């Protein structure tokens, strides 16, 4: 089980991204579910559409609908997201990244991200582990 961050999803959606194959390898070698927090859907959708175009957005939506990724709504994560945003305001962590952390904390703690600057700081607490994209 692994929780995906926006950066990993963007790399997965772009075959010419230098991190595409490493992220794909991690997904293929990590048992499902491959979790997408609902808190990042707007960010992912916007970035896929504006950077890679509608075909990439449609492919992502198809993968969600087809069960390639598991959507985690995290209805009870808001208090934890608020704590994380406050605690890491100097990064700043922000809502989307905090949603990924809160989701991962409930789901075995493994996160696939390329944003090592922020997530490596949070992983220092020991509540999440950042997966290497070449795992």
Contacts of residue 41, Cβ cutoff 8 Å, sequence gap at least 6: 71
Q: Which residues pair with 111 in a beta bridge?
A: 3, 130
Identify the pLDDT of residue 134.
45
Q: Is the dihedral of CA 36, 39, 40, 42 positive or negative?
A: positive
Identify the pLDDT of residue 64.
97
Tens digits of pLDDT across the chain (135 residues): 999 999 999 999 999 999 999 999 999 999 999 999 999 999 999 999 999 999 999 999 999 999 999 999 999 999 999 999 999 999 989 999 999 999 999 999 999 999 999 999 999 989 999 996 544
Domains of the chain, earliest start first: 2-131 (3.40.50.1010)
Identify the pLDDT of residue 86.
96
Identify the pLDDT of residue 135.
43
Identify the pLDDT of residue 132.
66
- The phi-psi region of residue 108 (left if phi > 0; otherwise alpha if psi is between -120 and 50; otherwise beta) is left
Identify the pLDDT of residue 116.
92
pTM here is: 0.94
Identify the pLDDT of residue 49.
97
């Amino acid at each position: 089980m692994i929780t995906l961050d926006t950066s990993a999803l963007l790399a997965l959606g772009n075959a010419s991204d230098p991190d595409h194959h490493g992220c794909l390898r991690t997904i293929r070698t990590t048992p499902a579910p491959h979790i997408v927090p609902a808190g990042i859907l707007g960010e992912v959708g916007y970035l896929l559409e504006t950077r890679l175009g509608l075909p990439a957005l449609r492919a992502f939506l198809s993968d969600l609908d087809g069960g390639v990724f598991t959507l985690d709504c995290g209805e009870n994560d808001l208090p934890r997201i608020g704590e994380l945003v406050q605690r890491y305001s100097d990064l700043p962590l922000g809502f989307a990244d905090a949603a990924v952390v809160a989701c991962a904390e409930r789901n075995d703690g493994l996160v696939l991200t390329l944003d090592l600057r922020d997530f490596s700081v949070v992983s220092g607490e020991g509540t999440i582990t950042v997966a290497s994209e070449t795992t």
